Amino acid sequence: MNTFSKNTQNLYKNHPVLFIYGLGNYIKNLFQNEKLKYLVIFEEDKNTIDNFFQQAYITSLLKENKLFIFNAKEFDFNKAKDLFLQQNFMFYSKIVQIIEFKKSYLIQTIENNIHRAIESILNGLQSSQECEVYIEHFCKNLPKILSHSSTQNFLNTHKAKQKYAIIVASGPSLIKQLPLLKKIQNKVNIFCADGSYTILHKYGIKPDYVFCIEKDTINGKEKIGSWNFFDNNFGEFDKNILFIFTDTVHPKTIKLLENNNRNYIITLSINPLSTSFEFHDFGYCDLSFNSVANLAYNFAISLEYKNIILIGQDLAFGKDGNSHPKEFLHGTDSDSSCYEHIKTIAYGGKGKVFTQAAWLLYKEKYEYDINLNKHIIKTYNATEGGARIEGAIEKPFQELCDKIIKENTIKQAQILPLPDKHSIYTNLKKALNHFKIISQTSKNFLDDSKKIIKKIQNISLQINSLPKNLSLEESLKSIDFNQINILQKEIKLYKEKLYQNKYFSTILLSYMYANECNFIHLECLDINIPEKTKINQLTYIVNHERHIKEIVNLIEKQHSIIIQTTADIQELISKDFS
């Protein structure tokens, strides 16, 4: 074993993941440590990378997702974010440290990108209460999803027939673009954010698609609802508009659509719970770091539009400090006081404008999607205000409209038929059976959880029962550390099963991201003082009582929602869906 391997194993023997700069013949040696799960390596020399990729051992590790090799010169913020969004890498956010197999000026840039990515992911996380609200909305909306046309059917039948799609967001720059949009509305397909829907109606502009993703909660409390955008009756105006909502929306919003016979589909968001039902034709959309306008942009990509134009997409406060135009239903300053104001590059690249953390996430998501699709799609930012979106071509809206108006095309509405009763019945029965499986799995897992909590409580009782006059050394000798070691392994096995269980990942995601990293950091400490090592072990065990109790609490909440949903679907089937 070479010196680098020995030193690394000695210093990082408890680490489940290592980040190393520079490829070398140390990989097999490091994986001899059973605690090491993943190895992330950055290398700037392309020939070295290519040579390693030809080794059978290396390719097998890559296929198993145990080894990740990145070209250091190409490792940017987006690649860092992709890395930490897979394999539970966010659990390791507190032990990120790049080990130098060789020195490079690129190391600091890589570390900065990783820390930016971690911060971005944490900023975009929902609270545990919001995860619970999503579960509730998903369960209540699922029968509506299955009784309407599927997302895949929509994508197949609504492929782009025009060259241009326009995404209409509700930023403060929107109103100045509406006279031009009105002139070309019959020659383009208009993808409208929920907040822009009532504005377009006011200006006599008919969108083709209206999108909504809001669950209308902040930390579990209801706020001003997106349903307000649909609490109206626009009559003939709504004819041939397709409302495309996600499974996250409040059921009240769906009810308002149905009150006025509006055409809609609901698409499943991609997460372990929704995908476990295998209703693949009805999904999937990625709502991570997405605004409703981001979602509309993603749909335009999926429908194969070659030219996508953004308007009203300021992602920044106006010069007057407003977040929206005065025509916006929830007011001009609905987002003005929620977040700290942050400076970013202005549209056109001249000067700075003020944005906020959530808008930065949406901006980053645009930039990621634009870069990913730049070889097949041209994205134009015709907002003429707000923040710069890197990768989007900045053009005056007038210039783009002059091109569009010359197009010899007139769009035609396409109606999506509802599925037949047999299909609805089959899918509802499938959902019902799957809910029953999740329910039984929950019961079994809750039983296991409570057994482990009892064992932890017994250890805590032993510790609290120790005589007060004993020294630290004497107290530690009085504790059976064979029992501690066995329980620590049992807790780890319990959590491994938890990580692998797709039924609980969605409800637990935020809580686990926020807390699991602390336990991993504690395990990685290598103090080399036996007494302190034992204290860390006890700390690890005792603190898991609160941790597992909160896991139990969240799973019980999901279980309760699923029990109610099972009863609701059974009643719906018995009444023949009426």
Same structural domain, 241 and 382: yes
pLDDT at residue 548 above 90?
yes
Tell me the pairing of strands 342-345 and 209-212: unpaired
The pLDDT tens digits for 41-55 are 999 999 999 999 999
Task: State whether 426 and 389 are in the same domain.
Answer: no
Please indicate, yes or no, whether residues 454 and 532 belong to a single structural domain of this protein.
yes
Residues 6+ apart with CB under 8 A from 156: none
132 within a domain of the structure (yes/no) = yes
Q: Indicate the residue type of 349.
A: G
3-state helix, strand, coil split of the chain in percent (to 5) is 55, 15, 35
Nearest Cα residue to 311 out of 330, 297, 328, 327: 297
Share of the chain above pLDDT 90, in %: 79
Question: Are 278 and 394 in a shared domain?
Answer: yes
Q: Residue 206: what are its φ and ψ, rounded to 5°?
A: -100, 115
Cα–Cα distance, 210 to 197 (Å, whole number): 7
Q: In what order do the strands lie in the sheet with 209-212?
A: 283-285, 263-269, 242-246, 209-212, 189-193, 164-168, 307-311, 378-381, 393-394
pLDDT at 1: 59
Residue 416 lies in a domain: no
Q: Residue 219: pLDDT above 60?
A: no
Look at residues 99, 96, 97 and name the one whose alpha carbon lies nearest to residue 5.
99
Residues 375 and 461 in one domain: no
> Are 393 and 464 in the same domain?
no
Tally of residues, the chain: 578
pLDDT recorded at residue 409: 80
* 278 domain residue, yes or no: yes
Asked if 84 contacts 68 with a C-beta cutoff of 8 angstroms, the reply is: no
pLDDT confidence of residue 216: 62
Predicted local confidence at residue 127, as pLDDT: 85
Q: What is the mean pLDDT of the chain?
A: 93
- Give the pLDDT score at 221: 44
Residues 299 and 231 both lie in one domain: yes
- Whether 118 and 132 map to the same domain: the answer is no
Among 93, 124, 155, the domain boundary falls at 124
What's the pTM?
Answer: 0.90
Domain assignment of residue 528, yes or no: yes
Strands 221-222 and 217-218: antiparallel
Best CA proximity match to 181, nearest among 155, 154, 213, 208:
208
SS (H, E, C) 268-283: EECCHHHHHCCCHHHE
Residue 260: name the closest of 221, 300, 303, 229 by CA.
Answer: 229
Please tell me whether the peptide bond between 209 and the residue prior to it is cis, using omega within 30 degrees of 0.
Answer: no
User: Final residue of a domain: which of 371, 404, 437?
Assistant: 404
Average pLDDT of span 345-373 = 95
* Section 241-259 average pLDDT: 95
pLDDT of residue 218: 41
**Position 555, amino acid:** I
In a domain, 433, yes or no: yes
Query: How many folded domains does the chain comprise?
Result: 3
Closest CA to 409 of 227, 51, 163, 203: 163
How large is the average pLDDT for residues 173-179? 97
Q: If you ran DSSP here, which 8-state letter would residue 312 be given?
A: S
- CA distance from start to end of the chain: 71
Q: What is the pLDDT of residues 8-41, one digit of tens each?
A: 999 999 999 999 999 999 999 999 999 999 999 9
**Parent domain of 344:** 128-404
Domain assignment present for residue 222? The answer is: yes
Q: Give the domain CATH number at 17.
A: 3.40.50
Could you tell me if 94 and 149 lie in one domain? no
Residue-wise pLDDT for 481-506, tens only, equals: 999 999 999 999 999 999 899 999 99
Is the same domain home to 8 and 40? Answer: yes
464 in any annotated domain: yes
Which three-class secondary structure state does DSSP give residue 72?
Answer: coil
- Residue 406 CA, distance from chain mean position: 40
* 428 and 360 share one domain: no
- 292 with 432, same domain: the answer is no
Is residue 222's pLDDT more than 60? no
pLDDT at 330 (0 to 100): 80
Q: How many whole angstroms separate alpha carbon 189 and alpha carbon 517?
A: 46
Closest CA to 545 of 525, 519, 526: 519
Pairwise CA distance, residues 194 & 229, whole Å: 7
> Confidence band (pLDDT; 50, 70, 90) for 220?
very low
Q: Is the pLDDT of residue 99 over 90?
A: yes
Contact of 369 with 294, CB cutoff 8 Å: yes
In this prediction, residue 327 carries a pLDDT of: 87
Higher pLDDT among residues 532 and 247, named by residue: 247
Q: How far, in Å, CA of 175 to CA of 578, rounded?
A: 43
Rounded to an integer, the average pLDDT of 512-522 is: 93
439 falls within a domain: yes
Last residue of a domain, one of 76, 105, 124: 124
The CA distance from 510 to 287, in Å, is 15
DSSP 173: T
Euclidean distance between CA atoms 379 and 370, whole angstroms: 7
Over residues 132-158, the pLDDT tens digits come to 999 999 999 999 999 999 999 999 999
CA distance linking residue 379 with residue 309, whole number of Å: 6
CA-to-CA distance for 491 and 511, rounded, in angstroms? Answer: 17
- pLDDT, residue 152, reads 97
Report the candidate in 528, 526, 540, 537 with the shortest Cα–Cα distance to residue 13.
Answer: 526
